[in-house]
Chains A and B, each alone.
Chain A
Amino acid sequence: DVVMTQSPLSLPVTLGQPASISCRSSQSLVHSDGNTYLNWFQQRPGQSPRRLIYKVSNRDSGVPDRFSASGSGTDFILRISRVEAEDVGVYYCMQGTHWPPWTFGQGTKVEIK
């Protein structure tokens, strides 16, 4: 199984400041079809997960443009350009290249300092 490793696991951020979360996979996530199936999810307190990003860098509809993501192979990053109060929650990366199983990172808790 592909192991997804996120860092940091806890991220205190000052409002208006940038934040970034790293996600590394135990093997390359490049699929034989040429795509890289790496997603990012946000889970606000008490809510279901919400997909923010699919295929490494594609932002979902309605996701603020302060969220961006990049990466390739085994190394991926989610960035928030200026953290707002509504960004508090836990962020997960997930790979969908080598399945089953689909595997998630441990989660990174973003909180306001």
Chain B
Amino acid sequence: QVQLVESGGGVVQPGGSLRLSCVASGFTFNIYGMHWVRQAPGKGLEWVAIIWYDGSNMYYADSVKGRFTISRDNSKNTLYLQMDSLTAEDTAVYYCVRGYTSGSPPFAYWGQGTLVTVSS
């Protein structure tokens, strides 16, 4: 069955960096786009970034553009999110979400999330 397992969250100081990982299993990772979506404590869902199935294209929310970098290693079935210059507003649970491939509408599968807390 499809599984997405995030890791790498934790407590980081403002201005610091963190790298999140998401290991995928149960499907052919290298044919799917992948997203990161976040949820601040007690708040709604916010799309963060997408990467194409082959890593050829990436798009970001304005709120993270220039600070976050999405990447993937298809040989390891792993999605990453490098987060730099973190602020308190980045405190959230970060979800890895399976995106689109032909014949498969996106956002069907979500990981359990990993919590990032930005605090001094």
Contact A51 B45 (CB under 8 A): no
* B31 interface hit (Cβ, 8 Å): no
What is the number of contacts between chain A and chain B, taking CB atoms within 8 Å?
53
Q: Out of B35, B44, B111, name the residue touching A104 (CB < 8 Å).
A: B44
Alpha-carbon distance between A94 and B106 when the two chains are bound, in angstroms: 11
Q: Which residue of A lies closest to B62 (CB)?
A: A101
* B32 interface hit (Cβ, 8 Å): no
Q: Which residue of A lies closest to B112 (CB)?
A: A48
Alpha-carbon distance between A82 and B62 when the two chains are bound, in angstroms: 40
Alpha-carbon distance between A90 and B44 when the two chains are bound, in angstroms: 9
**Contact flags (1/0) for B40-57 with A, using CB distance below 8 Å?**
000011110010000000
Contact A101 B105 (CB under 8 A): no
Q: Out of A41, A55, A60, A103, name the residue touching B47 (CB < 8 Å).
A: A103
**Please, which residues of chain A bring their CB within 8 A of the CB of B46?**
104
Contact A100 B50 (CB under 8 A): yes
Contact A54 B105 (CB under 8 A): yes
Contact B61 A96 (CB under 8 A): no
**Please, which residues of chain B bring their CB within 8 A of the CB of A49?**
37, 45, 95, 110
Number of interface residues of B (CB under 8 A): 20
* B27 interface hit (Cβ, 8 Å): no
Interface residues on A, range: 20 to 34
Q: Which residue of A lies closest to B113 (CB)?
A: A48
Alpha-carbon distance between A99 and B107 when the two chains are bound, in angstroms: 14
**Please, which residues of chain B bring their CB within 8 A of the CB of A94?**
45, 107
Alpha-carbon distance between A39 and B112 when the two chains are bound, in angstroms: 20
Not counting A92-B45, A100-B50, a sample of 20 additional A-B residue pairs whose C-beta atoms are within 8 angstroms of each other reads A41-B107, A48-B110, A48-B111, A48-B113, A49-B45, A50-B110, A51-B108, A54-B105, A54-B108, A58-B105, A90-B44, A96-B106, A96-B107, A99-B50, A101-B61, A102-B50, A104-B45, A104-B46, A104-B47, A106-B44
Of all A-B residue pairs in the complex, the 10 with the closest CB atoms, nearest first, are: A100-B59, A102-B47, A48-B110, A54-B105, A104-B45, A107-B44, A101-B47, A51-B108, A101-B61, A106-B44
Give the interface of A toward B (CB within 8 A).
Answer: 39, 41, 43, 48-51, 54-55, 58, 60, 90, 92, 94, 96, 99-107
